[in-house]
Structure 1
């Protein structure tokens, strides 16, 4: 982690704040590297975080079986791994609406019609989950009152430029330089 600032004492304080937030949110193992620039004179804050690799996403087909009953014209979904039950239910409600998802018991769901396309429904995406958690941490780290925010994230690098004034081109360039540096980190 590199924290740059015109105020050396302020840089040390920000480094402690960042470490504490990442420890509280249990994000330290999920971050490869980070760059921060703080300038209290020009009133700018730049943050770039390189995410670590995550496991692959899980589809409904990975954790459930499907059976179509022609007579009743309904698809029965049998859940093989109960750890995914909340995610499955949430995704089915989003895709098919709550009133169309019937759960006769803990490990099965019934949907009307032949639901052939549900096996590819992503029910757990560790990459997106980590991304959300890192954005949460970033918004906790941003100094109070910095309401003008530009997201310059690319690939596995979450990056933002913040100020309470208009964002200057030189700040965006510095942020993009951080992004490029972090994209090169393996």
Structure 2
């Protein structure tokens, strides 16, 4: 982690704050590297974080058996791995509507009609989950009052430039430089 600042003591404090937030959110193992720039005189905060690789996403077909019953015109989903039950239910509610998902028992779901795309429905995406957690950390780290935020993220690098004034081109350039450094490191 590199924290740059015109205020040396302020840089140390920010490094401590960042480490504490990442420890609280248990993100430290998931972050490869980070660049931070803080300038209290210019009122700018730049942060770029390179996320570590995650495992692959899980699709519904991997953790369930899906059958279509022609006679009743219903699709029956039987859960093989109960660890995914909350994710499956949440995703089915989101995709099909809560009123259209029936759960006769703990490990079964019934949907009206036939849906050939259910097998490929992503129910768990560790990369997206990590990304959400990193953004949560970022919004805890950003100095209070910095309401103008530009997201300049690219691939596995999440980066923001923020201030309480108009964002200057030179700040964006510095942020993009951090993104490039982290992308190829």
TM-score (normalizing by structure 1)? 0.99
1 CA distance for matches of 2:106 and 2:149?
A: 44
Query: May I ask how many residue pairs the two structures share in their alignment?
Result: 185
| 1:37 aligned onto 2:44 | no
Alpha-carbon displacement from aligned partner over 1:23-72 (angstroms, at most 9, x marks no partner): 00000000000000000000000000000000000000000001111110
2 CA distance for matches of 1:144 and 1:115?
A: 47
Pairing 1:74-113 to 2, within 5 Å after superposition: 74-113=74-113
1 CA distance for matches of 2:117 and 2:11?
A: 52
2 CA distance for matches of 1:13 and 1:35?
A: 15
1 CA distance for matches of 2:13 and 2:66?
A: 55
Pairing 1:17-166 to 2, within 5 Å after superposition: 17-166=17-166
| 1:15 aligned onto 2:15 | yes
Alpha-carbon displacement from aligned partner over 1:86-109 (angstroms, at most 9, x marks no partner): 000000001110111000000000
Partner of 2:5: 5
SS of alignment partner, residue 165 of structure 2: coil
Q: Which runs of 5+ in 1 are unaligned?
A: none
1 CA distance for matches of 2:125 and 2:3?
A: 31
Shift of 1:115: 1.9
Structure 1: 4+ residue segments shifted above 3 A: none
SS of alignment partner, residue 175 of structure 1: helix
SS of alignment partner, residue 114 of structure 2: coil
SS of alignment partner, residue 116 of structure 1: coil
Q: Which runs of 5+ in 2 are unaligned?
A: none
1 CA distance for matches of 2:68 and 2:159?
A: 46
SS of alignment partner, residue 34 of structure 1: strand
SS of alignment partner, residue 38 of structure 1: strand
1 CA distance for matches of 2:159 and 2:67?
A: 45
